[in-house]
């Protein structure tokens, strides 16, 4: 009801062609995102479907027996789970000290010049094809380490495979945890030195705890990678076609991945024989769920680092 006169109106509606163009670009990217989601869902869907087919046509007691012998209809889950976890454990026993040690050295101790040539070496190590490491496990790790640790060990053993997988995983652990430690602000280190802390004290009491969630994430990713590793275990763990339940790491053992590759490439001569071949998808589903869980867990840890600074 005021008598104030308003200034002339301004046209704030955008130009139509531009709005239309923006909408089109938006749809293009949404389409690309949708395709990748759909493809992933289809893969998971077929995995679930095939696994279900396998389980339906099966006497469930054959999932808990003396060993993994798909040709004889023995699909003991605990054999492949134990093999997988034992090898992952050996791998992490190797990769944790090596990876974290390398990360601490690179992030806290190495002079810039040393870093400049050490970092690429680490990356080269990460790029070694796992076939090469599998071969290395048989020809070097087995005779020089495993057979010395246990006189009962043969050429093929879970220990040899585990150590090789550990070497494979080390660069991953090192690089992710190094990133986490370098992300710790320099101001925190200065605060620590300013209080008269030594370098070792600063690293262990300030940098390490501040980077803890990132370091945790690196270890979880390492486990996830170790569980998923196929070639090294298929070559060096020993049990290609089947295996009795085995918890002794100096004996051959069967992992989920090695069992799957044996089924897929037919090296156990059962390709095509219905239910045995289908067990591949059942293992694949299990493996997928395990690594998915681990990656989600590591994601949560990483997000915690981001919240902090």
- Residues near another protein, by CB under 8 A: 111-112, 185, 187-198, 201, 205-206, 209-210, 308
Please say which residue, 45 or 209, places its beta carbon nearer to another protein: 209
Nearer residue to another protein within complex by CB, 189 or 225: 189
Least Å from the CB of residue 106 to another protein? 15
Contact assessment for residue 51 and residue 289, using Cβ atoms and an 8 Å cutoff: no
Secondary structure (3-state) at 29: helix
Nearest CA-CA partner of 153 in 269, 299, 253: 253
Q: How far is the CB of 301 from another protein (least distance, A)?
A: 15
Side by side, the strands of the sheet bearing 67-69 are: 74-75, 67-69, 243-244
CB-CB neighbours of 249 under 10 Å? 23
Q: Provide, rounded to whole angstroms, the least separation between the CB of residue 308 and another protein.
A: 6
Whose Cβ is closer to another protein: residue 139's or residue 201's? Answer: 201
Cβ neighbours for 258, distance < 8 A, ≥ 6 positions apart: 83, 230, 233, 234, 237, 239, 240
26/198 with CB nearer another protein: 198
Distance of alpha carbon 157 from alpha carbon 176, whole angstroms: 29
Residue 157 Cα to chain centre, angstroms: 22
Residue 184 or 237 with smaller CB distance to another protein: 184
Nearer to another protein, 211 or 256 (CB): 211
CB of 180 to another protein, least distance (A): 13
Question: 157 with 83: CB under 8 angstroms?
Answer: no
Write down the least CB distance from residue 179 to another protein, Å: 17
Minimum CB distance to another protein, residue 97 (Å): 25
What CA–CA distance (Å, rounded) separates 31 from 303?
Answer: 28
């Amino acid at each position: 009801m005021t008598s104030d006169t308003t200034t002339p109106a301004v046209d704030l509606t955008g130009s139509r062609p531009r709005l239309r163009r923006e909408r089109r670009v938006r749809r293009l990217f949404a389409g690309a995102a949708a395709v990748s989601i759909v493809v992933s869902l289809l893969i998971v869907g077929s995995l679930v479907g095939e696994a279900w087919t396998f389980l339906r046509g099966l006497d469930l007691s054959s999932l808990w027996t003396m060993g993994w012998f798909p040709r004889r209809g023995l699909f003991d889950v605990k054999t492949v789970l134990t093999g997988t976890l034992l090898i992952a454990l050996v791998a992490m026993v190797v990769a944790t000290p090596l990876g974290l040690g390398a990360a601490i050295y690179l992030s806290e101790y190495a002079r810039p010049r040393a870093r400049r040539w050490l970092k690429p070496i680490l990356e080269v190590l990460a790029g070694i094809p796992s076939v090469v490491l599998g071969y290395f496990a048989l020809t070097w790790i087995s005779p020089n380490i495993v057979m010395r640790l246990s006189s009962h060990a043969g050429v093929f053993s879970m220990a040899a495979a585990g150590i090789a997988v550990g070497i494979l995983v080390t660069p991953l652990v090192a690089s992710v945890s190094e990133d986490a430690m370098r992300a710790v602000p320099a101001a925190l280190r200065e605060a620590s030195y300013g209080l008269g802390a030594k370098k070792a004290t600063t690293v262990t009491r300030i940098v390490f705890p501040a980077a803890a969630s990132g370091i945790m994430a690196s270890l979880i990713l390492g486990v996830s990678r170790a569980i998923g590793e196929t070639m090294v275990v298929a070559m060096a763990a020993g049990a290609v076609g089947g295996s009795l339940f085995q918890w002794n790491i100096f004996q051959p053992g069967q992992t989920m991945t090695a069992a799957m590759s044996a089924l897929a490439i037919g090296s156990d001569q059962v390709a095509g024989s219905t239910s045995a071949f289908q067990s591949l998808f059942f293992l694949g589903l299990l493996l997928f769920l395990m690594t998915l869980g681990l990656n989600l867990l590591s994601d949560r840890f990483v997000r915690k680092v981001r919240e902090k600074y």
